[in-house]
Amino acid sequence: MGTTQWPKAPLFEEDMDALASILRTWCGKHQHDFNGEESRVKARELVEWFEFGVKDPIELADLIEGKHWQVERI
């Protein structure tokens, strides 16, 4: 995702807690330091998806795993 230019709503403490929890889970799964560069990249992705309107934690976790390209068979 690229940079967005629309007015953005503020991220509240509960939003940040939820995003941090998703990121910590991702870091643990992939053995990355929470304060490392890989984590920063994923944090940016999470915030961009959240600002885009994705609020479901499961969907956000799937998106940073790259599962947004997977389509279920009919």
Domain count, the chain: 1
Residue 63 maps to a domain: yes
Residue 43 maps to a domain: yes
Residues 6+ apart with CB under 8 A from 25: 61
Domain that holds residue 32: 21-69
How many CB atoms are located within 10 Å of the residue 70 CB? 8
Give percent of the chain with pLDDT exceeding 70: 82
pLDDT of 74 over the 50 cut: no
Q: Which residue has the higher pLDDT, 26 or 3?
A: 26
pLDDT of residue 5: 62
Give percent of the chain with pLDDT exceeding 90: 66
Residue 3 maps to a domain: no
What does the pLDDT look like over 33-66, one tens digit per residue? 999 999 999 999 999 999 888 999 999 999 998 8
Question: CA 56, CA 60: separation in Å to the nearest integer?
Answer: 6
